[in-house]
Each structure stands twice: as C-alpha cells, then as structure tokens.
Structure 1
Amino acid sequence: MRFEVSGREVRLANGQRAVVVDVAGELDVHTAPRLKERLQRLERGGTHAILVNLAQVTFIDSIGLGVLIGGLNRARAAGGSLVLASPHPRIQRILNLTRLSSAFAVVNSEAEGLDILTNECGETASAPDPEPEPTPAPHADVVELTIPGRPENVGVARLVIAGIASGIGFSYDEVEDIKLAVGEACTVALNAATPGGPPPPVALRCQVEPTALVIDAMAPPGVNGTLPDPVDDESSISRLLIESLMDRVEVPPDTAPGICMRMIKSRPRTS
C-alpha cells in the first residue's frame, strides 16, 4: 500500500470545525515527516482540534509515534487536542507496548473521536503525492545488507529481513515484530553517526541459526559501536520497542566490535 495522508474539514455537533487527517500505509522514518508537515500546516493555520484516522495504517515505528506525540503536545499547548481513531489491532498493540494508549484518546470510530473534539475547531490542508514501496528480497542462511543511510531506504531493510523471517517459519505477527525491530535498529545505527556529517550507510547482518534468527545492526564507519543516549521521546520509544519485540537484545560493550546492536528472536519449534 502506498503512503497517503489527506485532510478533510468536518463540523462538530456544536457547529465548530475540526479536521480529520486520514493516513494510509506505513508510517515510518521515511513517511512520518509528511504527516508531521501536514499537522504543522494545520497548526499554523489555527487548527488545534485534530482527529488522526489510523484505520488504513499498516505499520508504525518510533518516528511515526514521535510525530503523533509532538502533534498532541502542540495541540494541547494551544488549548486543543489530537485524537487517534480506528487503529488496527497491531497498531493498538504498539500503542499499548509503548504505554502511549494512556497518553492519547484512542477511540474505535471517527464519531467517537469527534465527540471528544466538540469544543475545538480546525482548518484543512492539501495532500502530498503518494510514493511507492520497495520490494522484498528472498531469504538465505546468511544475508549481509548495506543500504544508503537515508530514511527512505529503511523500508528496504525491513522487507528483506521480513522475507527471511517468513521463509524460516515465523508467524505473521512474529514477522511484523521483527520487521518493526529492524527498522528501529536502523534508526539507532544512523543516530550513532557523527552529527552534521554525510549520512553513513546502514549495514545489517542476518544469520539463521538452528534455534534463532540473529540480526546485527553494524556501527557506521568511524563509530565504535556506541549507542546514542535515549534522551528524547523517539529514542526512548525506539529502545523500548526493540526490547519488547525481540527475545534478547545486546548492545555495547556486550557485543562484538563494530556491532551497534544485536537482536535475537528464537525460531519457532517444529514438530
């Protein structure tokens, strides 16, 4: 599914205006800036009553969550609110894992969300063009993958590793967990690079062992495998997600030299 974000003005029960932002596709490190820009445009236009419709969102990572958190905080600071509506069960699970379901008003329908926003108003904005998704690669016993260090390429890494995990018997939900963790690890590796320099390549090594799938996020060139401190919301959410989704996570100094993060997922038992 292509990523799309659009806005539509609605009238609340008291006659005031709000905006429903419909999001479809994967909300991740590559696409989240487009939602952030949309929310900021609404805010600059005086809209602080916003309902984000997540019914068609199939994936969300820490960057996407961070955009939603930022939108909520800015709306509340202006006397408004941001409500999340109709998340898929997998998206709801991520909200629960990160304990963000208690920070947001999360409702099952647009009508419920608009009731919460009855005392707010908003403006509309135009939608950007959708973008294509990358294609997954087949699985192998050992895969070493290096991609240019740009946000739009993180989806390629996710899909390659997801293809490997699916091929060795992980369930759909387990594959989705691994896919999300890999995207977060790529973001961690990029954040370990020196600020201000050119984006380094992202390197992953995936090894299929008899009892586990082992995924190493390699440190960028010139970085000694040191992880950035989780000092902001997105970094904290990223680390929490990875540790919640994988069976074991190792970080320096417990990893081999050059490894930024090692993630281990036990393989399903076969009868």
Structure 2
Amino acid sequence: MNLSIDMKEKENELLVKVAGEIDAYTAPKLKETLQPSAESDDKDITVDLSEVSYMDSTGLGVFVGLFKTVKARGGQLNLIGLSDRLQRLFDITGLGDIMNINSKVEGGVE
C-alpha cells in the first residue's frame, strides 16, 4: 500500500496529514519527508494519523526520532487522530506517556 503525506506550513507550525500504512516499506519515505522540517528551530509539527490504517515498529521508530529532533530544537510534536489500535501501540511501548497524543482531531489538518 502506498503512503500519502500532505504538508501545510503556517507560521512556525507544520501540519501533516498522513494516509495509508506505515511499515518497513513506507517509513523511510515518511522520515525523509518530515526530517528536514524537524531540524528547524522552534518548529511545532502536528501529524494527523486519522487515515493511517496500520503502523508497525518501523513507523514508531520514525516518530521517536522525529520527537527527539523536534524537542531538541525547541519545538513540539503533536500526534492527532489516532485510532484505538494506533493509540494502543503507543501506550504499550510507553510512548503514549511521553509524546503529546490526542486521539481526537480538533480543528486539525484539512
């Protein structure tokens, strides 16, 4: 399955809508697309995962790396729109406790 990534920049925030499956095949594309923005100082990144049907540990690794980079640069990573399955994946690994995750999309990415 393909992965689609739609990015919109507004001021010091990047809004990203991801759709499809995040796995060993598609995770490198996601990382390659998001990493340059994560390396900007004081940039907040909001990623809407409401249309992600599947994610494996490779996808988790992308978000851990993104989280570390954004935080080190003074920004914040927000994950929104997680399905129950994705939320459980983040909770089981303990990432749900350290990352800013909101299962609801509020205003979010269009």
TM-score normalised to the size of structure 2? 0.87
What amino acid does structure 1 have at the position aligned with 2:8? R
Q: Is the 8 A contact 1:49 1:81 kept in 2?
A: yes
What amino acid does structure 2 have at the position aligned with 1:109? V
Partners of 1:39 and 1:110 in 2: CA distance: 21
**Displacement of 1:17:** 2.8
Secondary structure (helix, strand or coil) at the match of 1:50 reads: strand
Q: Does 1:104 align with 2:99?
A: yes
Matched, 1:76 2:55: no
For 1:17 and 1:56, how far apart are their aligned partners in 2? 24
Look up the SS of the partner of 2:36 in the other structure.
helix
- Going from structure 1 to structure 2, the CA distance change for 1:17 and 1:110 (only over 3 Å counts) comes to farther
- Report the residue type matching 1:76 in the other structure: K
Q: Which runs of 5+ in 1 are unaligned?
A: 11-15, 115-271
- Other-structure match for 1:154: none
Which of 79, 82, 89 lines up with 2:84 in the alignment? 89
Residue 89 of structure 2 aligns to which amino acid in structure 1? I
Could you list the per-position Cα deviations for residues 140-162 of structure 1 after superposition, in whole angstroms to 9, with x for gaps in the alignment? Answer: xxxxxxxxxxxxxxxxxxxxxxx
Helix, strand or coil for the counterpart of 1:26? strand
- Deviation of 1:93 after TM superposition, in Å, equals 1.3
* Matches for 1:101-180 after TM superposition, within 5 Å: 101-107=96-102, 108-111=104-107
CA RMSD across the alignment: 2.0
Is 1:2 aligned with 2:5?
A: no
1:29 counterpart = 2:24: yes
Identity of aligned residues (%): 36
Structure 1 or 2: more strand by fraction: 2
State the AA in 1 paired with 2:5. V
Supply the distance in 1 between the matched residues of 2:42 and 2:2 (Cα, whole angstroms).
27
Q: Describe the superposition over 1:180-233 as per-residue Cα deviations: whole angstroms up to 9, x where unpaired.
A: xxxxxxxxxxxxxxxxxxxxxxxxxxxxxxxxxxxxxxxxxxxxxxxxxxxxxx
Q: Would you say the 8 A contact 1:53–1:110 is kept in 2?
A: no
Q: Counterpart of 1:79 in 2: which secondary structure?
A: coil
The count of corresponding residues between Structure 1 and Structure 2 is: 108
Note if contact 2:39-2:69 (Cα within 8 Å) is conserved in structure 1. no
Q: CA–CA distance in 1 between the matches of 2:7 and 2:17?
A: 6
Residue 41 (structure 1) aligns with? 36
Residue type at the aligned position of 1:93: R
Q: Which runs of structure 2 are paired with 1:224-235 in the superposition (5 Å)? A: none
SS of equivalent residue, structure 1 residue 9: strand
Task: Tell me the distance in 1 between the aligned counterparts of 2:59 and 2:47.
Answer: 12
Q: Secondary structure at the match of 1:75?
A: helix
Kindly provide the amino acid, as one letter, of the partner of residue 68 in structure 1.
Answer: F
Report the 3-state secondary structure (helix = DSSP H, G, I; strand = E; otherwise coil) of the residue aligned with 1:55. strand
Cα gap change, 1:43/1:94 in structure 2, threshold over 3 Å: closer, same or farther?
Answer: closer
Q: CA deviation at 1:44?
A: 4.2
Q: CA deviation at 1:7?
A: 0.6
Partner in structure 1 of residue 47 of structure 2: 52
